[in-house]
Amino acid sequence: MTPIPFGRFLLFERVAIGGMAEVYAAVRWDDEAGRLYAVKRILPSLTDDRELVRMFLDEARVAVQLDHPGIVPVHELGKLGGGYYIAMDYVAGRDLRSVAARFRAVGAPVPLEVVAHVVSEAADALDHAHRGRAADGRELRVVHRDVSPANVLVGLDGHVRVIDFGIAQAAHRSAGGGAGGGAGGVLRGKFGYMSPEMVRGLPVDRRSDVFALGVVLHELLSGQRLFTGATELAVMERVRAAQVPPPSASNRGVPPELDRAALRALAREPEDRFGWASELRDALRPWARPLGPEPRAALARLMAAWFPDALGEEADRRARGLASLARGAS
């Protein structure tokens, strides 16, 4: 694509597009080192949708108050050309969808120690969000509400990061609509990763995120989608019932302790789950020990082996960013 001047940034490649926004790899005019940024801007067709704009702005307002290596930092929130944008760190890596798809393609399960490490790291990031406080000391009580494989990134550097707080709910926010959804009680998020209480339109708290992360854990262990159906309604009914087989029913290599952790996270009633994401983290961390004393370095080596073209692709992307910056400045 032809690079697009965009305020202090130069957008040189669109790397993702979703239902609400598009994300570009970008460089900044005043950064001669050519550091890469991810600039997320709301789709032009949605700039008049007040609810989606509010959700988009809330993502930045929530993320900027959270300081954790597992949450991508936001550097700038602005409005340009009638549309809003967020500028954050660019993360070179793959989301969990891609990791799971890679193993499905070769007919093998994701190694247990990798599953345990990645999900425990995501749980640690979510726990930080759940316990976060504003600058004045108020509890933020953030609930991500859209935890899914697409929103957990495994970096080529071995870091695990949770992204996309676009439909997060925070206690200090005065939002309209039902407790379980967006404005007017409209459900937001991916149906197969919702909690039973969200599907039922009941209030949600941090334990809803625990359930969603439990779905991610179960799917990585079993190698299969957990809640499926011919229609969205059928998926929602299965989530509502939350009748979950142990992961070992599909993958005999899963030990009983990991079965128990997954099933506790996936309990239908919130009071029967782990009370905090940190409890799920602590249940999983012993199973990550085979990665060794430096699990992030070990995961970085594995990512390089699993995605052998990724490092070269990212080097090419950075070179294109630098070249775009040089041409734009000339």
Residue reference for tokens 């993958």: 251
Q: Which two tokens stand for residue 24?
A: 């570009």
Q: If 0-12 CB within 10 Å is exposed, 13-18 middle and 19+ buried, where does residue 29 land?
A: middle
Half-sphere exposure of residue 157: CA atoms within 13 angstroms, side-chain side = 9
Which of these, 45, 47, 37, lies nearest to 84 by C-alpha position? Answer: 47
Q: Who contacts 136 (Cβ-Cβ below 8 Å, separation ≥6)?
A: none
SS3 state at 25: strand
Q: Is 30 a catalytic residue?
A: no
Active-site residue identified among 146, 209, 259, 309: 146
User: CB–CB of 25/9 below 8 Å?
Assistant: no
Q: Who contacts 69 (Cβ-Cβ below 8 Å, separation ≥6)?
A: 125, 159, 161
E strands in 18-146: 21-28, 37-42, 74-80, 83-89, 93-95
Give the separation between CA 77 and CA 64, rounded to whole angstroms: 10
Single-letter amino acid, residue 36 = L
Residues tagged active-site: 146
